[in-house]
Amino acid sequence: MNLSLQLLLLLTLTVRTVRTHGYYVFRVDECLTSSSALTDVEFIRTEYFNKVPYARFNSTVGEFVGFTEYGVKTAEYYNRGDYVLRMRGELERYCKHNLPIFYSNILDKTVSPRVELKAEQQPRGAHMSMLMCSAYDFYPPAIDVYWQRDGKKVTTDVTATDELADGDWYYQVHSHLEYTPRSGEKISCVVEHASFSEPMVYDWDPSLPESERSKMAIGASGLVLGLILSAAGFIYYKKKSSGRILVPS
């Protein structure tokens, strides 16, 4: 499922529940779209008997369909009367009117995840390696994080956490890949989220171990700091030299 394009909103028009002698009937209305442009909206009404769906109207089909013997008879009855005509009008009246409002209030306020990809230390002598792809500080919580090897999705040796709430309306999630390093292969972490217009791909660079990359980062920072201090000392020296008065002997 492409989460950057998937939007499912459950909008209840009237959840009408009828109970009698322990049995009950209710219906659920949905507005469904798979495009951020809201160009392919569907209206769906499903009628249930004791949590079992027995009849459904889909605006794409344009009529009711039954799932049980009773549901087939009910669908035939609905499709002969004005009820089906009213259901066909709900797509324009309700879904296309309300979905842009929900989209603006929810998806337009998305926050892109901050993604980190790193290797976890394994016991000395272990042949397998462990990579962790983490997504932090994103909203809404729906997200898809998965792995690719040479452009193909990895379906084994993967474990992941659920979306974890940070307590400040943001979320985080972590996915682990256990694999045996092979020369020339390309490992990537792919993140799909409503804040992205397309899936974001983060490639793993195995050229340096995590410890060496940290040392390089510290060394580069020290070099920059040294250059800044050297430049400041040189400027100070030039200013002091320009202020001296030379007296001939």
3-class DSSP state of 89: helix
Is residue 136 within 8 Å of residue 116, measured between CB atoms?
A: yes
**Full set of structural domains in the chain with CATH:** 7-109 (3.10.320.10), 114-203 (2.60.40.10)
Distance CA 226, CA 128 (A): 40
pLDDT tens profile 28-61: 888 888 766 778 889 999 999 988 999 999 999 9
pLDDT tens profile 152-164: 999 899 999 999 9
pLDDT at res. 228 = 62
Higher pLDDT, 115 or 248: 115
Contacts of 149 (CB under 8 A, 6+ apart): 179, 185, 186, 187, 188
pLDDT at res. 218 = 45
> What predicted TM-score, i.e. pTM, was given to this entire model?
0.49
- Kindly give the interhelix angle for 82-90 and 69-80, rounded to the nearest 10 degrees: 90
Mean pLDDT for all residues in the chain: 79
Count of C-beta atoms within a 10 Å radius of residue 176: 16
pLDDT at res. 1 = 37
User: Could you tell me the pLDDT band of residue 26, with boundaries at 50, 70 and 90?
Assistant: confident
User: Could you tell me the pLDDT band of residue 235, with boundaries at 50, 70 and 90?
Assistant: low
Q: How many CA atoms lie within 13 A of 158 on its CB side?
A: 16
pLDDT tens profile 72-120: 999 999 999 999 999 999 999 988 888 888 777 666 678 999 999 998 8
H-helix segments, 59-118: 69-80, 82-90, 96-106
pLDDT at 207 over 80: no
**How large is the C-alpha radius of gyration of the chain?**
30
pLDDT at res. 179 = 84
Measured in degrees and rounded to the nearest 5, phi and psi for residue 63 equal -155, 175
Give the Å distances, CA to CA, from 231 to 153, 223, 224, 241.
51, 12, 11, 15
From the number of C-beta atoms within 10 Å of its C-beta (0-12, 13-18, 19+), residue 239 rates as exposed
3-class DSSP state of 201: strand
Tokens matching residue 122? 């394994």
Query: Nearest Cα to 187, choosing from 175, 204, 199, 202?
Result: 204
Of 22-26, 86-90, 126-130, 241-245, where does the model show the most confidence? 86-90
